[in-house]
Chains A and B, each alone.
Chain A
Amino acid sequence: MPTPTDIFGFEYGNLLSVQGGGLYFALVGTSAIVTGTTVSGNYALRTAMGEFNNVQLKIQSSTTTFVGCVHFRFDTMPSGADLIFIEIDNETVLNCWFEVVLATGFIRASFAGNGPQTTDIQLQQNMWHTIEWKLVLSADPTTLDWSYDGVQQTQVTRAGTGTNVGGIKVGDMSAAGLGNIFWDDVIYSITAADFMNLGGIKVAGLVPNADGAHNNTTNVLEINDGSDINGTTVLAYPQIDDMPWSTTLGDRIQSNLAGSTNYVEMGIPNVSGTAIYAVKGYLEYSAATAAGNDGATVMILSGGIERSIWGTAAAPADMSETTAFFKSNMIAATGSAWTQEMANSMVMRIGYSADANPDPYWQAAMLEYAYASGASYSDNFTLPKSLGITETVVTTHNPSVSLAKSANIFTSVIGVYGDSILLNRSLAISVASELLLDVAISLSKINNILLLGGLDFQSALVLGKIDDIFISSILDAQNSLSLSKQNSIILSSVLEAQDIFALGKSINISLDVVSSILASIILGKSDGISLTGGLSLEDSITFIRSLTTTLFSDLTLSESFTLGKSLNISVSAIMVLSLAMTLAKTVDILVSGTGNFNLAISLARSLLISTLAEVQGVIEESLTLGKSLAITTVTILSAVESILFSKSNTIMLNSVATMNANIALNKLIALSLSAGLLISDAISFNQSKNITTSTTLTINEAFGLSKSVGISDSLLADLAAQLSLGKAINISTNVQMVLENDLNLGRILAIQISGGVVYDEAFVLAVYKAIALSSELVQFMGNIPAKLVLNDQIIWLIVTGDRLLQ
């Protein structure tokens, strides 16, 4: 059981003064004690950043082993410079510093900057954090063990030994940044074993609330108007139950005459919590004048055991101050440890003045106590270290839940959280049925989340570092989901993201059935995305780095689809892209069913695109392949809009290919069409070695081949428009070649036509090096004059009867 040596809950409600040393060793700058932002109790300390605003808390023990715990919360992230915000003053070795590293937001511990060790967790704004430490000065080197939010960090060491700890200073020791730091429940101990066992202890206040059995007599213990306190018509406790306290002197209990055995007794409210670790008494006092006097403020425990706050019945203490002075003292238990019953039975006594000239004044008195909360869900609760939470029935948590360290959370039925959940470090969350989260959930580090039922996010879900998320049923994120580091997400049922779905680093995402993502999805790094059902994206999806994306069913993209680096995209059924699809680097895109692209597709580097069924009619907008080695469609390739292949080695169409718009192939090794090729608009092949059409080649518009090795048409070539071949080695038609417009052949080695050839217009051949024209061609010329250019000489060819004239 932890044994706190001193506790600081700031439950007196106001930043008072150093006078008397009962509250602070030093106050530097401007600080305040505030309500509303606390770990426990009603008040917390607030120090402003940007100046040397800090508070050095009172230390009652001189020790070489100094264990402690501080809860703090930044409402603004530090700025401007690294910020020292906790300092443990030891008198021989350099002071211990805890600071926020500006560049990273990490927490760094050191001996005044020497031998620093740093967390790998960022400070979170507007979230309570906990630092626990154990400073051992007795051995060389001096060691500082420390933890951040319940996780032990690397030890800091410093050569030398020390003999004393001077204090704990909290606040801004660097005069940097803006905003405020809140502090609550500062606890320290001189017991080494208390290290990392103080973080879960809370501190609350108790103010006297009833009069007890007084031992008073006339003109001894009075209120400030001189009335004797009698416990019936003149009560003692209202005179000292001030809340918040003030340095302004007000109502009081006074000892008008000395009465070393006289006292007034006051009751204390019962404590909360099942485990009580420490009790501390506070006193604000003054006197009528500065001349020496005395009095005592004590607690009486069960069995009549007396514990001093200031003075004792046998040895009252000086109270001769004309301004408000403050004292505090830890109240030791009667046995080895406090019990709830013991705490609830104690009373406060004031009086025992042996020298009441001048009158001693008791201005205010109260207690703070350290406790652990029980397993009650009736109000907000915090479990700083919890190894197991098991709920076998329906559990509703309406207030906030904070688990600083939780090894397992298991709900076998339904867990409903109506308010925020904060899990700083949780190793496993297991929900057998349904987990409904209405508001924000923040999981800093989680190794496994296992949801056998479903997970329904109606608000933001933030998972800082998670190894695995397994959801066997529905994942319904109606609000943003952000996973910064994620190894695996497995969904055996439905994934529905109705809002932003962002995965900073995710190794694997597996979906067994249909997934509907209504909002944008961003995957920073994803090794594998496997969707057994289907994927319907109604908003944009971006995969910065994705190694494998496999879709066993439909892939429907209603919005833009961007893959920064993707090695494989496999769609075993239908792939429909309604909007732009951009693949910066893609090695394989395999679509087993239909590929329907309603909008532009841009592939900067694509090695293989295969659609085993068809690429349906339906490239309705431009298709651009920066580098594409192979495009294969087993059935139909239909392009309504332009297709541009800047570098493409092979395009294979086993069925009909219809291109209603521009098609431009800058470098094309082979264009093979098993069925036919119908080009309704211009087609341009800048460099092409082979173009083969097994059936019909119909070109209704201009057809330009700047460099072509071979054009082979085994059936019919019907050119309704101009055919321009810059350099063509071979043009071969086995049946018929019909040219209804100009035929321009810049350089031709061979034209072979086994069937008939009909030219309705002029036929121009410009040959600069070598020609090999079959006699059939030359003799065919018929009634059309042909201009043959040999080197720089123009030769006109006209057939007259059976002779060829030049």
Chain B
Amino acid sequence: MPANWPPPSGTYPPWPPIELGGVWASFYNLWALVHTLQKLEFTQEAPTPTENTLFFSSSVRCDENHQVIGRMLVSPDGLRRYPFAVCVNAQHRDGLVLWPPYYAGLQGGRDTL
């Protein structure tokens, strides 16, 4: 399991986004996540310094203990920002997500962040 992930509840909007009608949503990797939510006019941005501190500190590790870099997925109205991360190990490239078990596994963060 990832370490220090997901961020404490209340520090980010509850998953899933209201744009999905409140139903459950999970994606096999971050590429599928972003691709699907882009259809709903979500965008992605680099985290702000505050978000970096809040969500993506050096204590956050993937399940193979690699450090991560963060990315924010922003709702169409710009009011909700969802943190996601990908591990820095090029072979592993685990994606850290907001639904159980909170990681996407091998190459789960590919091609996205």
A residues with CB within 8 A of B: 17-21, 24-30, 51-53, 56, 58, 89, 91, 95, 166-167, 175, 290-292, 318, 320-323, 325
Rounded to whole angstroms, the CA-CA distance of A28 and B35 in the bound complex is 14
Chain B residues within 8 Å of A19, by CB: 28, 101, 104-105
A-B contact pairs, 7 of them (CB 8 A): A18-B104, A26-B33, A28-B25, A29-B23, A52-B21, A56-B32, A291-B64
The reply on B1 being an interface residue by CB < 8 A is yes
For the complex with contacts A21-B108, A320-B106, 15 further pairs of A-B residues with Cβ separation under 8 Å are A18-B28, A20-B28, A20-B106, A25-B32, A26-B26, A27-B26, A27-B27, A28-B25, A51-B22, A166-B35, A167-B32, A292-B64, A292-B92, A318-B106, A322-B101
Rounded to whole angstroms, the CA-CA distance of A89 and B64 in the bound complex is 33
The reply on B75 being an interface residue by CB < 8 A is no
- Given the known interface contacts A292-B64, A322-B1, the answer about A25 and B23 at a Cβ–Cβ threshold of 8 Å is no
B55-98 Cβ-contact flags toward A at 8 Å (1 or 0) = 00000000110000000000000000000000000001000000
Q: Of B1, B36, B64, B108, which one neighbours A26 at CB under 8 angstroms? A: B36
B1-24 Cβ-contact flags toward A at 8 Å (1 or 0) = 100000000000000000011111
- Given the known interface contacts A290-B63, A323-B101, the answer about A25 and B20 at a Cβ–Cβ threshold of 8 Å is no
Chain A residues within 8 Å of B25, by CB: 26-29
- Given the known interface contacts A20-B105, A21-B29, A56-B32, the answer about A27 and B21 at a Cβ–Cβ threshold of 8 Å is no
Rounded to whole angstroms, the CA-CA distance of A186 and B112 in the bound complex is 28
Rounded to whole angstroms, the CA-CA distance of A323 and B94 in the bound complex is 14
Chain A residues within 8 Å of B63, by CB: 290, 320-322
Rounded to whole angstroms, the CA-CA distance of A292 and B64 in the bound complex is 7
B27 CB, min distance to chain A CBs, angstroms: 5
B67 CB, min distance to chain A CBs, angstroms: 15
Rounded to whole angstroms, the CA-CA distance of A30 and B23 in the bound complex is 7
Q: Among the interface residues A19, A24, A30, which one has the most CB atoms of the partner chain B within 10 A? A: A19
Q: Are B101 and A89 in contact (CB under 8 A)?
A: no
Q: Are A290 and B27 in contact (CB under 8 A)?
A: no
Q: Which residue of A lies closest to B1 (CB)?
A: A322
- Given the known interface contacts A56-B36, A325-B105, the answer about A24 and B23 at a Cβ–Cβ threshold of 8 Å is no
Q: Are A52 and B101 in contact (CB under 8 A)?
A: no
Q: Which residue of B lies closest to A320 (CB)?
A: B64
Chain B residues within 8 Å of A320, by CB: 63-64, 106
Chain B residues within 8 Å of A28, by CB: 20, 23-25, 36
Rounded to whole angstroms, the CA-CA distance of A128 and B64 in the bound complex is 46
Q: Of A26, A56, A89, A321, which one neighbours B105 at CB under 8 angstroms? A: A321
Chain A residues within 8 Å of B26, by CB: 17-18, 26-27
Rounded to whole angstroms, the CA-CA distance of A53 and B22 in the bound complex is 11
Rounded to whole angstroms, the CA-CA distance of A167 and B105 in the bound complex is 20
Rounded to whole angstroms, the CA-CA distance of A322 and B23 in the bound complex is 26
Rounded to whole angstroms, the CA-CA distance of A27 and B16 in the bound complex is 12
B39 CB, min distance to chain A CBs, angstroms: 8
Chain A residues within 8 Å of B39, by CB: 95
Chain A residues within 8 Å of B24, by CB: 27-30
B22 CB, min distance to chain A CBs, angstroms: 8
A244 CB, min distance to chain B CBs, angstroms: 19
Chain A residues within 8 Å of B20, by CB: 28-29, 52
Rounded to whole angstroms, the CA-CA distance of A784 and B62 in the bound complex is 132
Rounded to whole angstroms, the CA-CA distance of A51 and B27 in the bound complex is 18
Q: Which residue of B lies closest to A325 (CB)?
A: B105
Chain B residues within 8 Å of A58, by CB: 28
Rounded to whole angstroms, the CA-CA distance of A318 and B27 in the bound complex is 20
Chain A residues within 8 Å of B27, by CB: 18, 25-27
Rounded to whole angstroms, the CA-CA distance of A95 and B38 in the bound complex is 13
Rounded to whole angstroms, the CA-CA distance of A51 and B29 in the bound complex is 23
Q: Which residue of B lies closest to A89 (CB)?
A: B35
Chain A residues within 8 Å of B29, by CB: 21
Rounded to whole angstroms, the CA-CA distance of A366 and B49 in the bound complex is 48
Q: Among the interface residues A26, A29, A51, A58, which one has the most CB atoms of the partner chain B within 10 A? A: A26
Rounded to whole angstroms, the CA-CA distance of A730 and B25 in the bound complex is 98
Q: Are B105 and A175 in contact (CB under 8 A)?
A: no
A128 CB, min distance to chain B CBs, angstroms: 26
Chain A residues within 8 Å of B36, by CB: 26, 28, 56
Rounded to whole angstroms, the CA-CA distance of A571 and B39 in the bound complex is 69
Rounded to whole angstroms, the CA-CA distance of A89 and B32 in the bound complex is 11
Rounded to whole angstroms, the CA-CA distance of A365 and B36 in the bound complex is 29
Chain A residues within 8 Å of B22, by CB: 51
Chain A residues within 8 Å of B28, by CB: 18-21, 24-26, 58
B20 CB, min distance to chain A CBs, angstroms: 6
Q: Which residue of B lies closest to A289 (CB)?
A: B63
Q: Among the interface residues A58, A95, A166, which one has the most CB atoms of the partner chain B within 10 A? A: A166
Chain B residues within 8 Å of A321, by CB: 63, 105-106
Rounded to whole angstroms, the CA-CA distance of A611 and B36 in the bound complex is 77
B42 CB, min distance to chain A CBs, angstroms: 14
Q: Which residue of B lies closest to A91 (CB)?
A: B35
B49 CB, min distance to chain A CBs, angstroms: 30
B106 CB, min distance to chain A CBs, angstroms: 5
Q: Which residue of A lies closest to B100 (CB)?
A: A323
Chain B residues within 8 Å of A30, by CB: 23-24
Rounded to whole angstroms, the CA-CA distance of A290 and B33 in the bound complex is 23
Chain A residues within 8 Å of B106, by CB: 20, 318, 320-321
Q: Which residue of B lies closest to A167 (CB)?
A: B32
Rounded to whole angstroms, the CA-CA distance of A325 and B101 in the bound complex is 11
Q: Which residue of A lies closest to B64 (CB)?
A: A290
Rounded to whole angstroms, the CA-CA distance of A290 and B3 in the bound complex is 12
Chain B residues within 8 Å of A52, by CB: 20-21, 23
A205 CB, min distance to chain B CBs, angstroms: 22
A52 CB, min distance to chain B CBs, angstroms: 5
Q: Are B23 and A290 in contact (CB under 8 A)?
A: no
Q: Are B23 and A26 in contact (CB under 8 A)?
A: no
Rounded to whole angstroms, the CA-CA distance of A480 and B105 in the bound complex is 59
Please list the 3 inter-chain residue pairs (A to B) with the smallest Cβ-Cβ separation, ordered nearest first: A29-B23, A21-B28, A290-B63
B31 CB, min distance to chain A CBs, angstroms: 9
